Amino acid sequence: MKANYGFADATGEYYITIDTDKCDGCGDCVTACPEKLFEVAADDYGKVVAMIREEVRIKLGYLCPGYEAACRKKEVNCHSACGQDAIKHSW
CATH code: domain of residue 76 = 3.30.70.20
DSSP assignment of 30-46: HHH-TT--EEEEE-TTS
Nearest to 25 by CA among 86, 89, 70: 86
Range of the domain at 17: 2-89
CB-CB contact of 30 with 40 (8 Å): yes
Specify the 3-state DSSP secondary structure of 19. Answer: strand
What per-residue confidence (pLDDT) applies to 70?
A: 85
What per-residue confidence (pLDDT) applies to 72?
A: 86
Q: How many domains does the chain have?
A: 1
Question: Beta-carbon neighbour count of residue 39 at 10 Å?
Answer: 15
pLDDT digit of tens for each residue in the chain (91 aa)? 999 999 999 999 999 999 999 999 999 999 999 999 999 999 999 999 999 999 999 999 999 999 988 888 888 999 999 999 999 999 9
Where are the extended beta strands (E) located within 22-84? 38-42, 48-52
CB-CB contact of 29 with 81 (8 Å): yes
